[in-house]
């Protein structure tokens, strides 16, 4: 099995999700007796890119810098398809992020490949090729068979341990595929998003709901988040009321996240919210109502006044870290 993985870098560094992807691909290659090639979208120093060798990647295709162009999933799909065809890749893997969700479906059509997103764990079987994913927004899981010779997969967030496997690593420069279409759109403005830690990538998330009573009370959560190096999130009513920016809304019609630790403060646990967090490794709930539904989904809980408990938790965390 020839495996191609799509990796993005930022100033020569790789986000956790890409190291997970590399580790997963290495394990998949071992499972199938295959090889892994990484396709890295260009524009960084080779010495930085070579770090992928620590995670089991022996061959890297580096697309010569086309940074400066706006992200156009159409072109990216063409480039990756071209690399995949040249390689005879039977499996193309992506980490879960907004670019992957834009590129992978287009790529699947180009390669006439079966597509599964949210893949959790290594394939259950190789012949026929079967993977598992969560469905019904985390309420169940499904075993899915891919019927085509080529497979396109997006891994589920935070579902694979990063493992270091040092191998010798060679880099091949690749020129952009011929005949890439000129983007038929124009990026008029770019705004960076606020927040020190990106919610989608954060390992720890501190989240607040209506129990906070007002956006003015978010200080205690901000302090807790800071002590933990956590990202901030919120429930839907909080975003709707304008207490917090809508980018922080986690839930069925917000973001779906999968951090290692999710601390829900003053959130009752409506099923739509649970849909956004059920893949978290550990959920902690702090709510004054011991009957709140969130406690049915949490691993640990405190039935108490969050205005007392949260500052105490911050103190305890600071004590631990010092």
Residues 167-226 that bind other proteins (CB under 8 A): 183-193, 198, 200-201, 203-204
For the bound state, the minimum distance from the C-beta of residue 184 to other proteins, rounded and expressed in Å, comes to 5
Question: Quick one: 165 exposed, middle or buried, by C-beta within 10 A (0-12, 13-18, 19+)?
Answer: middle
For the bound state, the minimum distance from the C-beta of residue 167 to other proteins, rounded and expressed in Å, comes to 28
**Which range, of 39-47, 83-91, 170-178, 243-251, touches other proteins by CB under 8 A?**
243-251
Nearer to other proteins, 5 or 113 (CB): 113
Q: Locate tokens 């956590």: which residue? A: 230
User: Is residue 170 within 8 Å of residue 59, measured between CB atoms?
Assistant: yes
| Interatomic CA distance for residues 71 and 29, integer angstroms | 30
For the bound state, the minimum distance from the C-beta of residue 262 to other proteins, rounded and expressed in Å, comes to 10
Other residues' Cβ atoms within 10 Å of the Cβ of residue 184: 7
| Interatomic CA distance for residues 69 and 89, integer angstroms | 27
Other residues' Cβ atoms within 10 Å of the Cβ of residue 195: 15
Q: Locate tokens 């290659």: which residue? A: 29
List the one residue from 53, 56, 114, 123 that touches other proteins (CB under 8 A): 114
Element (H, E) at 48: helix 46-49
Tokens coding 145: 């068979």
List the one residue from 16, 97, 163, 217 that touches other proteins (CB under 8 A): 97
For the bound state, the minimum distance from the C-beta of residue 168 to other proteins, rounded and expressed in Å, comes to 31
Phi, psi of 56 (to 5 degrees): 90, 10
Nearer to other proteins, 204 or 221 (CB): 204
User: Which is nearest to 99 in space by CA: 119, 121, 80?
Assistant: 80
**Which range, of 36-44, 45-53, 171-179, 312-320, touches other proteins by CB under 8 A?**
312-320
Binding positions for other proteins, 10-49, rule CB under 8 A: none
For the bound state, the minimum distance from the C-beta of residue 251 to other proteins, rounded and expressed in Å, comes to 9
**Which range, of 57-65, 161-169, 213-221, 300-308, touches other proteins by CB under 8 A?**
300-308
**Which range, of 34-42, 45-53, 100-108, 161-169, touches other proteins by CB under 8 A?**
100-108
| Interatomic CA distance for residues 165 and 181, integer angstroms | 38
List the one residue from 40, 212, 224, 313 that touches other proteins (CB under 8 A): 313
For the bound state, the minimum distance from the C-beta of residue 234 to other proteins, rounded and expressed in Å, comes to 12
User: Is residue 5 within 8 Å of residue 22, measured between CB atoms?
Assistant: yes
Tokens coding 317: 């965390």
Q: By CB under 8 A, tell whether 322 contacts other proteins.
A: no
Cβ neighbours for 300, distance < 8 A, ≥ 6 positions apart:
282, 283, 284, 285
Nearer to other proteins, 43 or 183 (CB): 183
Radius of gyration of the chain (CA): 21
For the bound state, the minimum distance from the C-beta of residue 173 to other proteins, rounded and expressed in Å, comes to 25
Binding positions for other proteins, 48-77, rule CB under 8 A: 70-74, 77
With contacts defined by CB under 8 A, how many residues of the chain interact with other proteins? 98
Binding positions for other proteins, 126-165, rule CB under 8 A: 130, 133-148
List the one residue from 115, 160, 218, 243 that touches other proteins (CB under 8 A): 115
| Interatomic CA distance for residues 68 and 245, integer angstroms | 28
């Amino acid at each position: 099995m020839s495996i191609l993985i799509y990796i993005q870098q930022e100033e020569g560094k790789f986000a956790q999700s890409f190291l997970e992807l590399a580790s997963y691909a290495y394990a998949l290659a071992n499972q199938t007796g295959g090889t892994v090639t990484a396709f890295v979208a260009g524009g960084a120093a080779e010495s930085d890119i070579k770090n992928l060798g620590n995670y089991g990647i022996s061959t890297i295709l580096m697309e010569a810098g086309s940074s400066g162009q706006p992200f156009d999933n159409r072109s990216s799909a063409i480039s990756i398809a071209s690399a995949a065809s040249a390689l005879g890749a039977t499996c193309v893997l992506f980490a879960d992020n907004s670019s992957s969700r834009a590129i992978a479906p287009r790529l699947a059509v180009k390669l006439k490949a079966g597509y599964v997103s949210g893949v959790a764990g290594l394939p259950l079987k190789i012949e026929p090729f079967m993977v598992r994913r969560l469905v019904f927004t985390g309420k169940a899981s499904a075993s899915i068979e891919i019927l085509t010779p080529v497979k396109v997969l997006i891994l589920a967030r935070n579902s694979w341990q990063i493992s270091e496997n040092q191998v010798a690593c060679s880099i091949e420069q690749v020129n952009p595929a011929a005949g890439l279409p000129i983007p038929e759109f124009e990026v008029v403005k770019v705004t960076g998003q606020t927040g020190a830690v990106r919610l989608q990538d954060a390992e720890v998330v501190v989240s607040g709901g209506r129990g906070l009573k007002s956006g003015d009370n978010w200080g205690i959560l901000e302090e807790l988040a800071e002590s933990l190096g956590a990202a901030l999130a919120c429930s839907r009513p909080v975003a709707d009321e304008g207490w917090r920016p809508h980018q922080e809304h986690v839930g069925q019609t917000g973001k779906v996240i999968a951090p290692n630790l999710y601390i829900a403060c003053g959130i009752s646990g409506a099923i739509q919210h649970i849909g956004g967090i059920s893949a978290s490794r550990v959920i902690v709930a702090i709510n004054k109502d011991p009957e709140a539904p969130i406690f049915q989904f949490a691993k640990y809980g405190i039935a108490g006044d969050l205005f007392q408990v949260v500052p105490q938790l911050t103190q305890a965390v600071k004590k631990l870290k010092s």
